[in-house]
Structure 1
Amino acid sequence: MRSIVLKQPGANWVDRGWYLITEFEMTNSRYFQKALALAQKSPGFIKLMDERNVLIYRNIFQPENLLEFEELYNLIRTWRNTRVYIKGEEVDPTLLDDGVACYIKTKLRRWSYHTCQSFDEKESKWGYLGCWRSGVTLNWVPGASAHFGARCWFYDGSLNSRGVYVIHKDEIYQRVFGGLEEYRRCPLLNLKNLSALIDRLPDRIDPKVDKEWKYTQGSKPRRVPRYDLYFEEPPPVPAVLPINEAAYRAYMQRVLKRP
């Protein structure tokens, strides 16, 4: 694949944030003039001459401009010399990236009932880790083993011989990042920040010390709504649970040092 010419990380490197670039060349397609007119009206348009002395038509799109991108993309995506880059990484131009498509649908067209928020490790609300597609949430609902198809982060753990509940961080990572893999290029996802938040979750819970928690009978599954998206069988009740919702919030605020 041809690599795009962008400043590489170094002493003067600046994080450009999320951006998407399209490039196309002159073609015999009957849609070429329409595509060129759209490109010229769209953000970040520039003409470039490449090493072959071929004129390249390039646009740089920010997240808020992705509706304009979609209109242009639908015209140029099957052309042989079309290129698409997301944050400098070349992607298959014939397939609209799942993360970009989801962002356009949920944030710009608002076709989805899911509320998407920009994920920030320090400011994330009491909701899903990264995105609802991860299936893992920080929110705990008393009396339910799963909430709208999601499981709370501490369900991945086990009780050791000393009565300490050990969190299985590897399973959390696998569950979260496995669910988000296809959508990792969404403008709202910051996987580095998401990983940092998972790192900050407690490694263990000891109800003898952490008074916000109590031991349970464990292992017995509870009924979950029939619209559960993630589990064929209800997940086991963990060996520990918060004593109540207020105690859980207080505990999480303490361990994560967040409001």
Structure 2
Amino acid sequence: KLLAGIDDYDLSSLRQCVSAGEHLPLPTFEDWYAATGIKLIDGFGATEMIHVFVTSAGDDIRPGATGRAAPGYRVAVLGDDGRALPAGEPGRLAVKGPTGCRYLDDNRQRDYVLGGWNITGDICRLDDAGYVWYLGRGDDMIISAGYNISGPEVEAALLPHPAVSECAVVGAGDAERGTIVKAFVVLSEGSQASEELTAELKEFVKQRIAPYKYPRAIQFVDALPLTKTGKIQRFKLRT
């Protein structure tokens, strides 16, 4: 949808473009850059931090990564014991900086602030250069047959298929596996839902990421549930 009809507009005055509200999938970044020559700026912000604390711009952008700690901020990825994890290990994103709110007389305080770190609720990994790679919200990670699966990673694998306009991936109950990966797909104009397309999409994902992460269930929908700021309401898809 982002690029639909883009040729009808004069974009010559554009200098910078920012993505906000949801994680920026790599296919969206690549398609926008191919169409405009402009690298979309991604970032992490939080109401409690009153500021964007992870971002990169220009030549510092690493496609697929959210960015690095903004000046004045520190980020880390913490394990369940509250200790910083080495590069490449997935864990809870934590941030320290000049801003940051706490909760007064509220049980959320115990979960949100740990050893001076503000815990955002996001699951990420850091690379050796300090870039943050988003894996999903803590409550959106899918555990299927003992595997931890990132919904956004599966979404990014689905989006390049020409029949897919939008998609969202969640965990769905399953008698055998406990939970399976389920994708909700909004089809591109001219595409039709069918058993053949369902099988094609599953195979498409298997060819792009680890095969065990493919969506075992696919449901075609007219639209995804969104908040007013454009965030996918995944909790509605789980019901």
TM-score relative to the length of structure 2: 0.29
Higher strand share: 2
Higher helix share: 1
Larger Cα-atom Rg: 1
Which structure has more relative contact order (CA 8 Å, sep 6+)? It is: 1
TM-score relative to the length of structure 1: 0.27
